[in-house]
Amino acid sequence: MTGQTRLSVAALNAFYGPAQILFDVAFELHPGEVVALLGRNGAGKSTTFRALMGLTVRREGEIRFDGALITALPTYAIARRGLGYVPEDRRIFRDLTVEENLMVGTQKTREGAAAWTPERLYTLFPNLAEMRRRRGGEMSGGEQQMLTIARTLMGNPSVILLDEPSEGLAPKIIEQMADAILAMKREGLAILLSEQNLHFARLISNRAYILEKGRIRFSGTIADLDADAGLRDQYLAV
Ligand SMILES: Nc1ncnc2c1ncn2[C@@H]1O[C@H](COP(=O)(O)OP(=O)(O)OP(=O)(O)O)[C@@H](O)[C@H]1O
């Protein structure tokens, strides 16, 4: 465990082949904090997450997790240190039940991080409890999204990256998602989530960064953003 900063990123550049996608990206995430990474389609949010996890994209810069430099580590080693990642596409096992999907995510417990079991997760995601014997392929998109997050928690991360968790969800499921994220926060997890607009982020986030064309354009509180219509119009989807 840690000082005050769980994740700190400085001078992060990322490239697909010759194309540079991220330019000097910098941000911080503290224990028990929900931070939104906002930006329009194509701004570089998913690329930021992939760069943090060491996936697909070539990156340079400084990524520190609990103070240790992880920029050169392979993805599995980064995940094992407690950085959980939920990509945009829901990667559940369609032929396995909810409970079996959760068991697949099991990792050993980690000092200083919550140790999750299916039973504890069901208190966070009551709708999953009701369908624990249902196969993944027979769930709605929103339910699959919840299951993907729950399965990532089975790895006992201390930080979780959520790529557009509210995308395509019905309003009722969005509320459940917000409740689940707030419950994760109460457990002490630090959460970085990407979003295209403020509606969902506002429900749960302490702070936000805005990314545009691969650069951070704003850093501040949700209240700061609410007070600045010009900034929202310039950089966010309505
Ligand atoms: N595999 C790839 N190869 C080349 N360019 C890519 C690749 N993936 C993404 N890009 C480009 O990188 C830029 C950032 O994309 P990214 O997916 O990170 O944006 P985003 O903010 O997450 O938006 P979205 O909401 O669409 O996922 C875009 O210009 C995109 O076209």
For residues 174 and 172, what is the distance between their CA atoms, to the nearest angstrom?
A: 5
Q: 237 falls in which pLDDT band (50, 70, 90)?
A: confident
Distance 42 CA to ligand 1 centre (A): 5
What ipTM goes with this model?
0.93
Distance 200 CA to ligand 1 centre (A): 21
Close Cβ partners of 31 (under 8 Å, ≥ 6 residues apart): 2, 4, 6, 158, 188, 190
21-63 pLDDT per residue, tens: 999 999 999 999 999 999 999 999 999 999 999 997 899 999 9
103-161 pLDDT per residue, tens: 888 877 777 666 888 999 999 899 899 999 999 999 988 899 999 999 999 999 999 99
- Which ligand 1 atom lies nearest to the CA of residue 43? 21
Q: Can you list the positions of beta strands (E) in 75-195?
A: 83-86, 159-163, 190-195
Crossing angle for the helix pair 171-186 and 141-153, to the nearest 10 degrees? 10
Contact criterion met (CB below 8 Å) for 30 and 189: no
* CATH topology for the 7-235 domain: Rossmann fold (3.40.50)
Torsion-angle region of residue 99: left (phi > 0), alpha (psi -120 to 50) or beta?
A: alpha
pTM above 0.95, yes or no: no
Atom 26 of ligand 1, residue of closest alpha carbon: 41
Distance 157 CA to ligand 1 centre (A): 26
Distance 47 CA to ligand 1 centre (A): 6
**pLDDT score of 7:** 97
Q: Give the binding-site residues of ligand 1, using a 6 Å CB cut-off.
A: 16, 19, 21, 39, 41-47
